[in-house]
């Protein structure tokens, strides 16, 4: 889905009624701080008794923001009121 050629992305990370608008290509970048690690845990809770193994997968990333003005966030009610005034 897009609005005026701008892609719209639905996310559960932002609460209903809120928005985040930005230039994600130039404003910020995801950087990998540490590669993916995979760990196996046999002694987690009652894994030994049940013959289970817990698998943990982890990756450390960072999101440096290069241009602070490239992002705008807020809620639709306030934004709509500002547009009408």
pLDDT over 70, % of the chain: 100
Same domain, 55 and 76: no
Same domain, 19 and 44: no
User: For 19-60, how does the pLDDT look when each residue is reduced to its tens digit (9 = 90+)?
Assistant: 998 888 889 999 999 999 999 998 888 888 899 999 999 999
Domain of 14? 1-24+67-85
Beta-carbon contacts of 48 under 8 Å, excluding residues fewer than 6 positions away, are 42
Same domain, 55 and 35: yes
Alpha-carbon torsion (49, 53, 34, 60), positive or negative = negative
SS3 5: coil
* Lookup: tokens for 27: 């404003």
Band (1; pLDDT cuts 50, 70, 90): confident
User: For 66-83, how does the pLDDT look when each residue is reduced to its tens digit (9 = 90+)?
Assistant: 988 899 999 999 999 988
Domain count, the chain: 2
* pTM metric for this prediction: 0.57
């Amino acid at each position: 889905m897009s609005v005026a050629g701008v892609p719209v992305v639905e996310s559960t990370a932002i609460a209903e009624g809120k928005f985040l608008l930005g230039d994600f290509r130039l404003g910020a970048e995801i950087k990998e701080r540490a590669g993916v690690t995979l760990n196996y845990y046999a002694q987690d809770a009652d894994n030994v008794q049940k013959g289970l193994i817990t698998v943990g997968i982890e990756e450390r990333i960072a999101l440096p923001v290069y241009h602070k003005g490239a992002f705008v966030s807020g809620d639709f009610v306030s934004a709509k009121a500002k547009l009408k005034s």
